[in-house]
Amino acid sequence: MSDFVKKTIVSKYDIDFRKFQTISPVNRNLQGFKSDFTLLDVPKKSFVVCSSGSMNYTKGTDIFLQIAKNVIHEAKLDNPIYFVWVGKDGNVDIRNHFLNDIKKMELDSNVIVVPNTDTIINYFYESDVFLLASREESFSMVAMENAMLGNPVVCFDKGNGTNEFINNENGSVVPYLDIDAASNAILEMYYDAELFNKKSVAIKKMAVQLVNG
């Protein structure tokens, strides 16, 4: 379990913390992963921000769209930004609102929604940044998989165990549900290629160390 889960259980049930042990989750080893095909139909110079998960309140689908709106409106014509959400399972009402909101917010040209797929790693591989918009996560496996691919992760500072391995050196940890801060974190990497590359190298190095123990 993550430190976040351990602390939550200890505080809620008053259990001796010495009875718990933090264990890193088992992930698919993506070291050296290469994709033989392209799934995203976007211009070559595009900057791609990916998220994934079921359509539910906890995963922050509404947060994802608010951040996407802020960021997309700042994009340069010669370097467009695309936001990709992988996963359509979950609450039907939330999914319908999500899809309708994309149109109402006039984001349908830059937001791509992909059904649940066995080739999700390929979408991660074609992305630049992973946005963890979740309100709560025990330990995000997809965030770790993106880290192994060198995708800096943007996440919130409360409600999940992800920031046990994500920091501002290899990604961005922003205040809980702070839309502007998350948007700015993505835009900083979008505008500053050197900063993006530095974080990409750092997060991949961290992920490899965790996987190899």
pLDDT at res. 161: 64
Q: Hey, what are 60's tokens? A: 């922050």
Confidence class of residue 33 from pLDDT cuts 50, 70 and 90?
Answer: low
Q: Which of 72-81, 141-150, 178-187 has the highest mean pLDDT?
A: 178-187
Percent of the chain with pLDDT over 90: 63
Three-point CA angle 130, 108, 106, nearest 5°: 110
Residue type, 137: E
The pLDDT value given to residue 2: 46
Average pLDDT over residues 34-60: 90
Q: Are 156 and 185 in contact (CB under 8 A)?
A: no
Q: How far apart are CA 81 and CA 71, in angstroms?
A: 8
* Centroid of chain to Cα 125: 13
Sequence-separated (6 or more) residues with CB below 8 Å from residue 113: 84, 85, 88, 98, 99, 102
